[in-house]
A and B are shown apart, each in its own frame.
Chain A
Amino acid sequence: MFRVRRPWRLFAEASALVIAVITAFPLYWMVLSAFKPAGEIQSTDALPWTLNPSLDSFRRVFEQQDFGRYFLNSLLVACAVVVASALIAFLAATAVTRFRFKFRTTLLIMFLVAQMVPIEALAIPLFFLMRDAGQLNTLWSLILPHIAFSLPFAIWMLRGFVKAVPEALEEAAYIDGASRTRFLWQILFPLVFPGLVATSVFSFISTWNDFLFAKSFIISDTSQSTLPMALLVFFKPDENDWGGIMAGSTVMTVPVLIFFVFVQRRLVSGLGGAVKD
């Protein structure tokens, strides 16, 4: 669609490749350092490859720090949040798109405003709330707030997907004698599912990445820790165990990368659709 002269296009493509390499470099360096033997990491003359990859750093991370357990905790929290917020948001999005009722617009604006709330500032009141509910040091103290924080955006994002299902389909279902509940779960839900996947990326990532709540609410029971806190154990001023940190970072990044690759097409088309409408 753009008539670009050839030397220009070659130049543009070359710069795109260079930028791609620069952008990918931190991730490459992370994985590389995780596999480097200790001697090579502590060398002042860092090479961009290694001839003797070793699993020592990973072994140290999993043995000293019980990373496997933290990994499962993180995964459990993230999955619980994804499933719960997707279901709740689906119901709410259906309500605000397929019904007209009083306060509908007000509610929508509230959902929009709620996305802007600096959740980090809420760590203080949530800390006391969780303490009073006796949930400090449990995974619930992470799951519950994250469901609440991912809901407003999920509802906004799902709205368009629910809206796109033709009204005629709904009418037809009712004429065929389907109940409202049946329509909701057996017809609408499968049709909106791709949208749910795109939405879940955001809840998964914000939960998986959470560091502040993990740090504030899981204070004394380390068996309930999630990955970010475990990672920071290796992070000491002046004498960082870089091999351990990079191995831990790799373990923490890979699931998100897999998840992203998995839903990448849906994500881009979801955003594309958001923009297109």
Chain B
Amino acid sequence: MTHQATAAGPAAVSPKTAPAPAAKPPRKRSGRKGGRWTPWLYLLPALVVLAALLVYPIYQLGLISFLEYTQAQVSGGEPTTFKGLGNYRELFADSQFWQVLLATVLFAAACVIATLIVGCVLAVLLTRIRAVPRLALMMAALGAWATPAITSSTVWVFLFDPDYGPVNRLLGLGDFSWTYERYSAFALVLFAVVWCSFPFVMVTVYAGIKAIPTEVLEAASLDGASQWKIWRSITAPMLRPILVVVTIQSIIWDFKIFTQIYVMTNGGGIAGQNLVLNVYAYQKAFASSQYSLGSAIGIVMLLILLTVTLVYLRLLRRQGEEL
């Protein structure tokens, strides 16, 4: 794939980024025609859209989480009242919330770890094989990557269906129902999640390994370094920035899983045993019309993800990336 990367030319410095080359001295351009308002003019459409549909809703989410806001207020039957931290107090006193929070964290952690292991192992595997099997694995992975979350959910449920699915028959599990029990249901969702998210890790890490200059590796092995030593002193440090990026991205994606849980466990499992925060917030808000409680859960999620983001930013900065 290296030749393609060079053929396409532009090196995208996206959030998935290795340390940037030394910063160029900033150039003054305010003197040129167009003046200093030009960048703001270019930014205007983006800022308007983001302000209206991202920033304002976040503000509203925070606001609703401090109000008494249920069906009665939505239909205008009762005036909205300010509840202060009342919703949060109610939420934190609910043992189900803590249970769901714990399940979300553990489930996301399991998904992230499984995805990273599968993705990295396969990325290394890709570097060791010839073009034909590599292309086969790459194509299969891209297919899994491209599959919409909702169709992958339906397909995986069907594969593990107790009556008509091929998996139970293959494993000789009879009519074992995967969605009936809590942990097997989570395991089933985990398979589907890992299946559609490992390709991103695999492709990115593979591209990262390919980007390590061959001369460096050859020089090291000429100097008599063992494979293990090469991995430890050259490959691993050069891959670290990429590993940080894929880990953080995976944490963010897997923490926010909604579709798979909702579809595969039919809205959160029997008696809510498979709820994760996102689905829980949705059920609170849209199924039982407790919009303020749903918003409070949303704010909790927002804060957790914001913390992850800040850690990410710190790591990026430590790597000395120029924004």
Query: Which residues of A are interface residues toward B (Cβ below 8 A)?
Result: 1-4, 8-9, 12-13, 15-17, 19-21, 23-24, 26-27, 29-30, 33, 41-46, 48, 87-89, 91-92, 94-96, 98-101, 104-105, 107-109, 112-129, 144-145, 147-149, 151-153, 155-161, 163-165, 167, 174, 180, 192, 194-195, 198, 205, 208-209, 211-212, 216, 228, 231-232, 235, 237, 240, 242, 245-246, 249-250, 252-253, 256-257, 259-261, 264-266, 268-277
Interface residues of B in 108-149 (CB under 8 A from A): 122, 125-130, 133-134, 136-137, 139-149
Taking CB atoms, residues of chain A closer than 8 Å to B161 are 240, 242
0/1 string, B266-309, CB within 8 A of A gives 1: 10000000000010011001100001001101110110011011
- Could you tell me if B165 and A211 are in contact, using CB atoms closer than 8 angstroms? no
- Residue of B57, B139, B152 touching A126 (CB-CB under 8 A): B57
Tell yes or no: B318 within 8 A of A by CB: no
Other than A20-B133, A268-B5, give 5 A-B pairs with Cβ distance below 8 A.
Answer: A16-B122, A95-B43, A121-B301, A156-B14, A269-B1
Tell yes or no: B53 within 8 A of A by CB: yes
Tell yes or no: B89 within 8 A of A by CB: no
* Min CB gap B31→A, angstroms: 12
For the complex, give the distance between the alpha carbons of A45 and B143 in Å: 27
- Could you tell me if B133 and A272 are in contact, using CB atoms closer than 8 angstroms? no
* Min CB gap A116→B, angstroms: 4
* Min CB gap A218→B, angstroms: 13
Q: Give the secondary structure class of A's interface.
A: helix
| Most interface-central of A159, A195, A228, A273 (chain B CB within 10 A) | A273
* Min CB gap B216→A, angstroms: 10
- Could you tell me if A109 and B313 are in contact, using CB atoms closer than 8 angstroms? yes
- When C-beta atoms are compared, the residue in chain B nearest to A25 turns out to be B159
For the complex, give the distance between the alpha carbons of A180 and B33 in Å: 8
* Min CB gap A99→B, angstroms: 4
Taking CB atoms, residues of chain B closer than 8 Å to A44 are 163-164, 169
Tell yes or no: B38 within 8 A of A by CB: yes
- Could you tell me if A274 and B40 are in contact, using CB atoms closer than 8 angstroms? no
* Min CB gap A198→B, angstroms: 7
When A257-B146, A277-B11 are in contact, do A265 and B46 touch as well, CB less than 8 Å? no
